[in-house]
Amino acid sequence: MKDSMIRGADIVVRSLIAEQAEIIFGYPGGAIMPVYDALYDYHEQIKHVLTRHEQGAIHAAQGYARVSGKVGVCLATSGPGATNLITGLADSQIDSTPLVCITGQVAAHLLGTDAFQETDVVGISMPGTKWNIQVRSVEEIAPAIAKGFYIARSGRPGPVLIDITKNAQVDFGEFNYVPCMGFRSYKTHHIIDQSVISQAAKLINEAERPYVLFGQGVVLGKAEAELKFFLDKSGIPAACTLLGSGALSEDHPNYVGKLGMHGNYAPNLLTNQCDVLIAVGMRFDDRVTGDLKRYAKQAKVIHLELDAAEINKNVKANVAIHGDCKESLSMLTEAIDPKSHTEWMGKFRELEQMEKEAVMQHDITPTKLGLTMGEVINQINQYKADDAVLVTDVGQHQMIAWRYFNYKKTRTQVTSGGLGTMGFALPAALGAQLYDYSRQVICVVGDGGIQMTIQEFGTIMQTKAPVKIVLLNNNFLGMVRQWQQMFFDRRYSFTELDNPDFIKIAEAYNIRSQKVTERSGLTEAIEDMLIHDGPFFLEVVVEKEDNVFPMIATGCSVEEVRLS
């Protein structure tokens, strides 16, 4: 045997180090044990975080990736370990989160025999991954990892799964890592046609009521500055999607609010009054469009999009600009005339004032005795740092936190958007915090979602990650309850929760805790939480039947947005 020959498991770890992976989130088991044995020798070069569940590992990797802009990495064993990653893979696929997930598999000669903990994870994960592969020999390991990282981070990012048989991990081979720089049939850069830019610029220059909708593609394309320059020159009102939040500071004079089912009143209503709709890095999700048959039919649509599959998928574009929005926005900014749209912007501000009086005043300065979710988030705004990261779970608290959190910096919004995964927030916040211990990471959860991954308190305890966890507790599955109230005659079928003593649970994990039931104690508790040097769990008991408005009901048009 040559001196340069090493185990496949060592090739796995050295390949990750070659890709500058900093942290691996994972959980050991029989089929991945050789890789864990190899990790023992590389602990100074790469950090491993032992989560308490594989779903926790992949959500933590997502949180890390979303805040850092790097590829998240997680490890799991075969069978149930691998299948526990599936929800996170599907979540990452729809939200364009770059991940490389490595799973162990039974030895190649046992494949197809129903061996202990054998599962066809490649077949199961195929719809939820950008690319996946099963590696059966030691020679395939390094090329598969190199290709996996390239696919995960390039173009429209997404998750990759590499399933490695146990024999490949224990056999010996030469380590010669060659980073992947591209391969046939996979094109990530598209040359933008100047004539298409000219067509779009003509529509924009002639428009009286132009309107920009921007999404996460701006963040993924690192085009935040280009978006700002475009808006500064064009004077066009701009609204964001859920995952686009933070791409433009909410202090920008052209920013008019948030789109979608529980977005702001003006951005939704005026979608059907604009004459030119400019969509930048967003996919016209159904939560943004409502009834497609009645969506922006009066407008000429310009769509700036990297993924060709998203162009004309839901909304037909009059001008489609296929390419990187960092490049296309720069070209478009150069081609348009400088303008202001004072009268058109005024309509947004008038409707914004209506929403403040009808909804926001109740949410953030309530007259009722009980605490509201909105006032909690508003109080957090008073004390948080400008670059604080908001990580939310899924439900009413998610929509309220999104509505009232003041986003000023990019990569400060981490949530499960397209899949809507309850249980996402706690491990995702851990991953975000472990990327940067010095940054405020504020995790806002509901009493339903937190119990789906509450075991990750153990990981927070072990890592001492200073995550600030805010539980908005209404003893309900709140979003489902709101729908039952509004559309099912208040028939609250299996949505009320008998909850445990969350404070005792947090304290059992050595996490400093506090519970607030009265308004008088809220401000001090938030201050204590944010200045505490370490993890902190704050439970706030809020109104049981507090609803989220505005709202566009399923099947309705965006112009049917309701304030109550």
Q: For the segment 110-126, what is each residue's pLDDT rounded down to a tens digit?
A: 999 999 999 999 999 99
pLDDT tier for residue 368 given thresholds of 50, 70 and 90: confident
Q: How far is C-alpha 466 from the chain's CA centre?
A: 20
| pLDDT, position 366 | 86
**Confidence grade of residue 4 (pLDDT, cut at 50, 70, 90):** confident
The pair of structure tokens assigned to 326 is 């960092």
Average pLDDT of span 337-360? 97
> In a 3-state reduction of DSSP, which class is residue 307?
coil
Mean pLDDT of 422-445: 97
Give the pLDDT score at 511: 98
Which of 3-12, 405-414, 465-474 bottoms out in mean pLDDT, i.e. has the lowest?
Answer: 3-12
Catalytic: 116?
yes
Instruction: Please list the alpha-helical segments (H only) found in 223-291.
Output: 224-234, 265-269, 286-289
> Would you give the distance in Å from CA 378 to the centre of its chain?
22
Catalytic residue, candidates 70, 130, 147, 166:
166
> How far is it, in rounded angstroms, from Cα 214 to Cα 240?
5
pLDDT for res 10 = 98
pLDDT above 50: residue 377: yes
Dihedral of the CA atoms 99, 102, 108, 111 (nearest 10)?
-70
CA distance 557 to 89: 32
- Beta strand 276-280 with 300-305 is parallel
With bands split at pLDDT 50, 70 and 90, how would you rate the model's confidence at 289?
very high
Cβ 408 vs Cβ 398: under 8 Å: no
pLDDT at 2 over 70: no
pLDDT, residue 254, reads 98
Mean pLDDT over 179-198 rounds to 93
Angle, CA of 394, 398 and 402, to the nearest 5°:
145
Q: Which pLDDT score is estimated for 1? A: 36
CB-based contacts of 554: which residues, under 8 Å, 6+ apart? none
From the list 22, 33, 117, 339, the catalytic residue is 117
Question: Is there a contact between 269 and 351 (Cβ–Cβ < 8 Å)?
Answer: yes
Contact between 266 and 256 (Cβ < 8 Å): yes
The two three-digit tokens of residue 100, written as one number: 């490389």
Per-residue pLDDT, averaged over 179-192, amounts to 92
Is the distance from CB of 536 to CB of 469 less than 8 angstroms? yes
User: Is 518 a residue of the active site?
Assistant: no
Q: How far apart are the C-alpha atoms of 42 and 467, rounded to whole Å?
A: 27
Q: 213: which DSSP letter?
A: E
Write the pLDDT tens digit of every residue in 292-348. Answer: 999 999 999 999 999 999 999 999 999 999 999 999 999 999 999 999 999 999 999
C-alpha separations of 444 from 77, 468, 479 in Å: 30, 8, 15
Q: Which of 261, 422, 479, 551 is catalytic?
A: 479
Give pTM, 2 decimals: 0.96
Residue of 138, 146, 143, 135 whose CA lies nearest to 170: 138
537 is known as an active-site residue: no
CA angle at residue 551 from 310 to 402, to 5 degrees? Answer: 70
Q: 4, 174 in Cβ contact below 8 A?
A: yes
Among the residue ranges 217-226, 267-276, 544-553, the one predicted with the least confidence is 544-553
Q: Which of 438, 434, 442 is nearest to 413 (CA)?
A: 442
Q: What is the mean pLDDT of residues 168-176?
A: 96
**Inter-CA distances, 169 with 35, 99, 489, Å:** 7, 21, 58
Whether the pLDDT of residue 145 is over 70: the answer is yes
C-beta of residue 427 within 8 angstroms of C-beta of residue 421: no
Rounded mean pLDDT of 24-49?
A: 97
Respond yes or no: is residue 529 known to be catalytic: no
How many H helices and E strands in the chain? 23, 20
pLDDT per position as a tens digit, 242-267: 999 999 999 999 999 999 999 999 99
pLDDT value for 448: 97
What radius of gyration do the chain's Cα atoms show? 24
Q: How many CA atoms lie within 13 A of 106 on its CB side?
A: 15
Distance of CA 457 to the CA centre of its chain: 21
Q: Point out the catalytic residue in the list 54, 140, 375, 456.
A: 54
Q: Residue 367 pLDDT > 90, yes or no?
A: no
- The Cα–Cα gap between 121 and 125 comes to 6
Set 5, 116, 126, 496: catalytic member: 116
Distance CA 332, CA 42 (A): 48
Q: Tell me the domains of the chain and their CATH numbers.
A: 5-174 (3.40.50.970), 194-347 (3.40.50.1220), 369-541 (3.40.50.970)
117 in catalytic set: yes
pLDDT at 541: 97
pLDDT for res 125 = 98
pLDDT cut 90: percent of the chain above it: 96
Residue 218 has pLDDT above 60, yes or no: yes
- Which pair of structure tokens corresponds to residue 280? 């930048």
Average pLDDT, the chain: 96
Closest CA to 94 of 138, 32, 159: 159
